[in-house]
Amino acid sequence: MFESPKRLKRALMVIQDGVGDRPVRSLGGKTPLEIADTPNFATLARTGMCGLMDPVAPGIRVGTDVGHLALFGYEPLKTYCGRGPIEAVGIDLDLKPGDVAFRANFATVGEDLTIISRRAGRIRKGTSELAASLNGMKLSDGTEVIFKEATEHRAVLVLRGNSLSPLVTPSDPGPGMEGEKVLKMLPLAPTSDAQAKTAQLAEEFSARAHELLHNHPVNLSRQNKGLPPANYILLRGAGVKREMRTLTERFNIRGACVVAESTIKGVAKLAGFTVITDPAFTANLDTDVIGKAKKALEALENHDFVVIHFKGPDIASHDNKPLEKVRFIEKVDGACGYILDNLSQPDTTYLALTADHSTPCEVGEHTADPVPVLISGYGILADRVDSYDERSCAEGALGRINANEFLLSVLDLIDASYRIGC
Amino acid sequence: MFESPKRLKRALMVIQDGVGDRPVRSLGGKTPLEIADTPNFATLARTGMCGLMDPVAPGIRVGTDVGHLALFGYEPLKTYCGRGPIEAVGIDLDLKPGDVAFRANFATVGEDLTIISRRAGRIRKGTSELAASLNGMKLSDGTEVIFKEATEHRAVLVLRGNSLSPLVTPSDPGPGMEGEKVLKMLPLAPTSDAQAKTAQLAEEFSARAHELLHNHPVNLSRQNKGLPPANYILLRGAGVKREMRTLTERFNIRGACVVAESTIKGVAKLAGFTVITDPAFTANLDTDVIGKAKKALEALENHDFVVIHFKGPDIASHDNKPLEKVRFIEKVDGACGYILDNLSQPDTTYLALTADHSTPCEVGEHTADPVPVLISGYGILADRVDSYDERSCAEGALGRINANEFLLSVLDLIDASYRIGC
């Protein structure tokens, strides 16, 4: 059923995760954005205003969660609640006040709790049955366990009880730590009763889950096939949900986000956005780029602000594959071309290009380098920048701004403004 | 003994105190940085990223202490504790909670406390004997006096007693006030008992010190030689030490600072840095510039972050000597050339140029003008700026940032990062 737009003007924001880079030796000292053939980005730059954007502030590195919280209008230094609650929202778990949510991984451990595979061999099937066997567990003090699988090896644990605290250390030693033992979970402040109790309950859950998973039919069948059993739940990112006004409510807009990755889904839902996804959207380099463009065009028919998220650049960067990054950027450029060709209201639709953070290929992780940004559309004061890349955008009229400011600048163009004074 | 670096990458930050300037009439409307012949700064600019830096924020003037606190990672608007405690740390006085520290000057006063010389004719010799005669004094309520000389006419007074407050007015009317009387020290809030008591104790100290100094052999001997006696202690900059985490602890780095001036020594020590100095380092125009470069290169062998401080530009500026400023800048450029030629790990060492504030020669004091900054090293997105000066750097890719942000950006390049989120 067609619903007419609430506002006359609309905006589409394209987020290329981790697209910002530094000069790459194998690309002759150019960045992937500088090397990529991107005629549509160039059109947008020529007709738009460019700049450099810090997710939070110059010199501060952010995770994907914090980078997106900032792009969706939250001030991370004030409102960051930990990764657990964001993941929980991403898979539609309803958190109540006092609930402590953890990111969880299905993992494989040996007898002395040595980690054999931190992702249980990237398990994909059977996780809902495994999760069901843990969900509903009652811990010794009556605390309730809510446990639900997410994509692949990922899951979320929620502890629902009295006087719990998110300030506990993780049991997960982190990526690349196979061969290490599972960490003992501890209170951050040893003098806090709530923290000590929560750490102890998380340890109790982990031990009982280990026992239950050990003999679970899914794992017996995996072992018969020579696959590593998902016999342990690694925990990290504990947090409690904060009550925050949604972006859509604050600015009286209808928002939609075309996305595959669960973290970004969580942030988008927190912000009040409709999440639009599809099995062909993989949060990886093989995602259906044009499919996302089509969904975004559809969403623009009855939303004021549409965000498309592409995970590809970040994946290629973490693996130090600059040429794959270049190729993916060119696909996103193609998707922007498709959008430009098919906008139903080109005179009243603004296009914005941005990223959540930089992930330079040669560094292989997020850095604090600012990312190039661009806004294009009717009435924009086009500057002299004619290319969307790190060095060109440094000379743009937007100057150097942060992600909150960039978002507000885009919203202002569609008259969804933050105004003070009369 | 050689100790290998903790981190793979290292950074060297060169601070030219007060180097920022405005067009100078006698230099044909150019600034000292624009006029100076600085081929090494030019090399760094060509290969680096430039920008303009505000010590705190646009339009805010700072002292040397605050400018350096900001460059060492403290947020001055939140953490500034007064100049007294910084000077105390600079001369290794150990402050306890509740101690109130003052900057002190040996001065010459006439009979009615009229100031004849605010620096006792820039006294250099005999100050330790004079200080010893005051140190250990017990004031009427039992408050203990700790008094120690610093460089030249400078000294530090610490009052150690019960219920003292740093919120008292100075007795020192400030530079250029010869002919005026010593000011009576008063509580900032007349209703505060602690402030009133502290002001009264400082007055008691001043009166008793005057009496003791009057007949001190050092002063009798000075008078015999026709030199002004150091017969009064002028006080200002009262403060209490704040407990602050050091920069080295916050970022898990080993820091060293090559420096002569006591204020900068104090800030560097507060920040957890090893202070490296030498009698040939004078905190003046005649300092051993290449000697400092050599010490910095040595320090880079077993520190992750090394700072070199040059006081010269500020001295020349306060005296409105633009040509001396130009000559000193050229010497610092030479020191940078020496460093570039002798870096043991050029591929993994970042060089940064900055200043604590601007001191335009024709103004003769600190102003709020932002200072040119630059970062150079492997992987830097070099912009089009090819000269290190106020006007050129305004077009650089770093844009306009503050001193905390500049520091974090440098630390990010050596992967000593502040990160939020996962």
Alpha carbon distance B181, B317 (integer Å): 28
Position A151 scores a pLDDT of: 83
Q: A63, B421: Cβ pair inside 8 Å?
A: yes
Encode pLDDT of A248-265 as tens digits. 999 999 999 999 998 999
Q: Token pair 């009057």 is at which residue?
A: B214
| Chain A partners within 8 Å of B405 (Cβ) | 57-59
- CATH class for the region spanning B10-79+245-413: alpha beta
Measure CB to CB from residue B409 to each of A59, A65, A69 and give the nearest one: A59
- The answer, for B278 touching chain A at a CB cutoff of 8 Å, is no
| Chain A partners within 8 Å of B407 (Cβ) | 59
Q: What is the number of helices (H) and of strands (E) in chain B?
A: 15, 14
Of A393, A367, A338, A234, which Cα lies nearest the Cα of A12? A338
Question: Best of A61, A64, A66, A261 to disrupt the B interface by mutation (most B CBs within 10 Å)?
Answer: A61
Distance from CA of B37 to the nearest CA of A (A): 27
Q: A76 Cβ partners below 8 Å, 6+ apart? A: A55, A56, A62, A66, A69, A70, B420, B421
Once rounded to an integer, what is the mean pLDDT over residues B357-364? Answer: 97
Measure CB to CB from residue A391 to each of B383, B406, B422 and give the nearest one: B383
Q: B383, A400: Cβ pair inside 8 Å?
A: no
Count CB-CB contacts under 10 A for residue A31. Answer: 27
Distance from CA of B421 to the nearest CA of A (A): 4
Q: A367, B417: Cβ pair inside 8 Å?
A: yes
- The answer, for A63 touching chain B at a CB cutoff of 8 Å, is yes
Q: A275 Cβ partners below 8 Å, 6+ apart? A: A256, A257, A259, A265, A268, A269
Count CB-CB contacts under 10 A for residue B244. Answer: 17
Selected residues 389-408 of chain B with any CB under 8 Å from a CB in chain A = 395-401, 404-408
Position B223 scores a pLDDT of: 94
Question: A81: pLDDT confidence band, cut at 50, 70 and 90?
Answer: confident
Mean pLDDT (chain A) is 94
Measure CB to CB from residue A58 to each of B381, B384, B409 and give the nearest one: B409
DSSP output for A55-74: SSSTTEEE-HHHHHHHHTT-
Question: A2: pLDDT confidence band, cut at 50, 70 and 90?
Answer: very low
- The answer, for B420 touching chain A at a CB cutoff of 8 Å, is yes
Position A6 scores a pLDDT of: 65
Which position has the higher pLDDT, A171 or B174? A171
Alpha carbon distance B301, A3 (integer Å): 67
Q: B418, A60: Cβ pair inside 8 Å?
A: yes
Question: A328: pLDDT confidence band, cut at 50, 70 and 90?
Answer: very high
Of A239, A273, A243, A295, which Cα lies nearest the Cα of A407? A273
Question: B2: pLDDT confidence band, cut at 50, 70 and 90?
Answer: very low
Alpha carbon distance B254, B299 (integer Å): 10
Position A1 scores a pLDDT of: 42
Mean pLDDT (chain B) is 94
| Helix, coil or strand: residue A48 | strand
DSSP output for B14-60: EEETTBB---BGGGTTB-HHHHS--HHHHHHHHHEEEEEEESSSTT-
Alpha carbon distance B227, B19 (integer Å): 34
Are B72 and B270 spatial neighbours (Cβ–Cβ below 8 Å)?
yes
Q: What is the distance between the terminal CA atoms of chain A, rounded to a whole angstrom?
A: 39
In chain A, pLDDT over 90 holds for what percent of residues? 88
| Helix, coil or strand: residue A397 | coil
- The answer, for A58 touching chain B at a CB cutoff of 8 Å, is yes
- In Å, how far are A253, B16, B235, B413 from B343, measured between CA atoms? 56, 20, 44, 17
Encode pLDDT of B328-347 as tens digits. 999 999 999 999 999 999 99
Question: B5: pLDDT confidence band, cut at 50, 70 and 90?
Answer: low
Are B19 and B360 spatial neighbours (Cβ–Cβ below 8 Å)?
no
Q: Which of A126-140, B84-98, B354-368 has the lowest mean pLDDT?
A: B84-98
pLDDT of B294 above 70: yes
Encode pLDDT of B119-142 as tens digits. 999 898 999 999 999 999 999 999
Measure CB to CB from residue A62 to each of B395, B399, B421 and give the nearest one: B421
In chain B, which segments carry CATH 3.40.720.10?
10-79+245-413
Q: What is the pTM of this model?
A: 0.88
In chain A, which segments carry CATH 3.40.720.10?
10-81+244-413
Compute, in degrees rounded to 10, the torsion defined by CA atoms B68, B74, B78, B81: -60
Q: Which residue of A has its CA nearest to B384?
A: A391
| Chain B partners within 8 Å of A234 (Cβ) | none
| Chain B partners within 8 Å of A395 (Cβ) | 384, 395, 397
Are B127 and B121 spatial neighbours (Cβ–Cβ below 8 Å)?
no
Tokens of B344: 């043991």
Q: Which residue of B has its CA nearest to A58?
A: B405
Alpha carbon distance B413, A268 (integer Å): 31
Position B81 scores a pLDDT of: 82
Q: Which of A7-11, B15-19, B33-37 has the lowest mean pLDDT?
A: A7-11
Once rounded to an integer, what is the mean pLDDT over residues A28-47? Answer: 98
Question: A5: pLDDT confidence band, cut at 50, 70 and 90?
Answer: low
Once rounded to an integer, what is the mean pLDDT over residues B39-64? Answer: 97
Alpha carbon distance B76, B271 (integer Å): 13
Q: A400, B405: Cβ pair inside 8 Å?
A: no
pLDDT of B95 above 60: yes
Question: Best of A19, A56, A103, A367 to disrupt the B interface by mutation (most B CBs within 10 Å)?
Answer: A367
Q: A367, B412: Cβ pair inside 8 Å?
A: yes
Position B9 scores a pLDDT of: 96
Question: A152: pLDDT confidence band, cut at 50, 70 and 90?
Answer: confident
Encode pLDDT of B146-177 as tens digits. 999 998 899 999 999 999 999 999 999 988 78
Per the document, the length of chain A is: 422
| Chain B partners within 8 Å of A76 (Cβ) | 420-421
Question: Best of B409, B413, B415 to disrupt the A interface by mutation (most A CBs within 10 Å)?
Answer: B409
Encode pLDDT of A336-378 as tens digits. 999 999 999 999 999 999 999 999 999 999 999 999 999 999 9
Distance from CA of A13 to the nearest CA of B (A): 22
Alpha carbon distance B383, B245 (integer Å): 35
Q: B379, A368: Cβ pair inside 8 Å?
A: no
Are B391 and B384 spatial neighbours (Cβ–Cβ below 8 Å)?
no
Measure CB to CB from residue B383 to each of A77, A394, A399 and give the nearest one: A394
Alpha carbon distance A78, A71 (integer Å): 14
Going by their DSSP bridges, the two strands A255-258 and A274-276 should be labelled as parallel
- CATH class for the region spanning A10-81+244-413: alpha beta
Count CB-CB contacts under 10 A for residue B151. Answer: 17
